[in-house]
Amino acid sequence: MYTKTNPTTDASLLAGHGVESTYREVNGIQLHVVAAGDPGAPLVVLLHGHPDFWYGWRSQLISLAEAGFRVVVPDQRGCNLSEAPDGIDAYRQSELSADVRELIHSEGRESAHVVGHDFGGFVAWNLALREPSMVDRLGILNVPHPTVYRNTLRASPQQIVRSWYVWFYQLPKLPEWALSRNDMENMVDSLEITSNPDTFDEETIDRYLAAWRHTGVGPRVNWYRGFRRSERPSRDTVTQPTLICWGEDDIALLPSMAEKSVEHCENGRLRMFPGASHWVQHDEREEVTEALLRHLS
């Protein structure tokens, strides 16, 4: 049984590490953004997925800033302290990608290194494909290239079964009810089921619960509804140098999709992590961080 305290969910979670919370007006909404590092240093944007918030990148945020990067980590729209616009169309890939584009501009830059995990990886793929000049180098953690994902869903019964929740989220109202009941017990279960033992301790779960309470679960469900309504990018091949890190024990995504995703990159490299779960940046924290540092440098 997890406690029901209401801890802070801003940058004060990492007090003493030189990080700060800021708010940015981008693409017509306000995003909460945690930032660290010299404002003039090479820029890295880290994008979280579902049911995560900026805090999921805490280890990489600190390490990248200490290594000489300027690092910004937004709560994506609909999450934690960021604004949650109404409607499904507000969560299409074109809107989520535009948020990142304008976030980069808010740093006074024309481009940045972009790294995404889970649904944040879909946003990173889309930005690299839709606006390639915005992305210097691309990092992807445990999410396939969108074309590979769509093709695999059509051809693989195994992946269809693993993606049951995607179809469930398309239903009206029922997913919001199911995920909100019993103080978001099913959301907690989703963290624990998809991770290795002890990845999320009680204190960390408490912080996630607090983050989810800010906007509720509805906007997060709309990410998946909006994904199905999204127009495909005009191009299919990623031209930027790309590193894909993949935990092989991901229960939701077939590892074969990682290999196929590299084929959609002109200059792609794949690092597989046996024994790591969907949360590879936690399970293999040092190795993933070092791989990202080498790639982005």
Catalytic sites, residue numbers: 118, 224, 278
d(CA 230, CA 225): 9
Q: 103 with 82: CB under 8 angstroms?
A: no
Q: 209 with 188: CB under 8 angstroms?
A: yes
DSSP character string of 122-175: HHHHHHHHH-GGGEEEEEEES---HHHHHHHHHH-HHHHHHTHHHHHTTSSSHH
Residue 8, SS3 per DSSP: coil
d(CA 15, CA 256): 40
Report the Cα–Cα distance between both ends of the chain, in Å, rounded.
43
Using a 10 angstrom Cβ sphere, with 0-12 exposed, 13-18 middle and 19 or more buried, the burial of residue 181 is exposed
